[in-house]
Amino acid sequence: MRKRTFLLLAAIAMSACNSSEKKADNSKDSINASEIKPGEWIALLNGKSLDAWHAYGKGAVGKSWKMEDGVLHLDASKKADWQSADGGDIVTNDEYENFDLKVEWKISRAGNSGIMFYVHEDTTNYKYPWQTGPETQVADNKENEDGKLIRHRAGDLYDLISISKEVVKPAGEWNKTEVIANNGKLDILVNDEKVLSTTLWDDNWKKLVAGSKFKEWPGFGTYKKGHIALQDHGADVWFRNVEIKKL
């Protein structure tokens, strides 16, 4: 009887220990991509800090990016040219190769922003993340000027490919974008519907880039590993539940 009781108590203690360890792993403020196991979802926004991010080509994230009740809000009330004062584009500290990325976002009226991937951080040659990293658009299609342009609407692979159907909710409502990039195959889902599929880096991809505004930057869309970026386009935008899984 004593032996059974001892084994039961030991099992309970081990379970509690494992649970505690799991909770500690999920509550880390900083993320090291090399520590992420394939198939394991990792929160890039933990709702408390921006330790997993930095301003593109700089250090700490600007003060216009604010964490409010677990939601990241870009306060664009003060402008600096076409971006926000003390804002700017932000990128993950780590780089990702094959991944599944999920982002929930909400844009302000007439607003514009974007989610970029495979960003190569080289400010000597590239002033902004969008000069190397493809972007899936975030915008108010109704009132933003880009909403009137083909391949510039919310969900589109900006200036390259339009989404196959309209599934984007209007300004002020939450949308979900999912980017799945795996060995050159790219799929984009908006609000859980697949709306775009293409292949990166092949001849057709090179033709798409050559026919776009990005032809000015020879490195655009060529990198097979890079940072995730959230864009400051001078409009209030909110992000939450940003998570990534290595494939």
What pLDDT is stored for residue 109 in this prediction? 98
DSSP string covering 157-224, please? BTTTB--SS--PPPTTS-EEEEEEEETTEEEEEETTEEEEEEESSSHHHHHHHHTSGGGGSTTTTT-S
Interacting residues of 211 by C-beta distance below 8 A, sequence separation 6+: none
What pLDDT is stored for residue 76 in this prediction? 97
CATH number at residue 145: 2.60.120.560
Question: Residue 40 domain-assigned?
Answer: yes
Contact yes or no for 106/173 (Cβ under 8 A): yes
Q: What is the dihedral of CA 125, 127, 133, 134, to 10 degrees?
A: -120
Question: Residue 199 domain-assigned?
Answer: yes
Question: Residue 22 domain-assigned?
Answer: no
What pLDDT is stored for residue 223 in this prediction? 98
This prediction has a pTM of 0.86
Question: Residue 67 domain-assigned?
Answer: yes
Question: Residue 132 domain-assigned?
Answer: yes
What pLDDT is stored for residue 93 in this prediction? 97
What pLDDT is stored for residue 32 in this prediction? 67
What pLDDT is stored for residue 20 in this prediction? 36
When divided into structural domains, the chain yields a total of: 1
Structural domain of residue 141, as residue ranges? 31-246
- Residue 6, H or E segment: helix 2-26
CA pair distance 111, 184, nearest whole angstrom:
31
CA pair distance 159, 150, nearest whole angstrom:
8
Q: In which residue ranges of the chain is pLDDT below 50?
A: 1-28
Strands 83-84 and 79-80: antiparallel
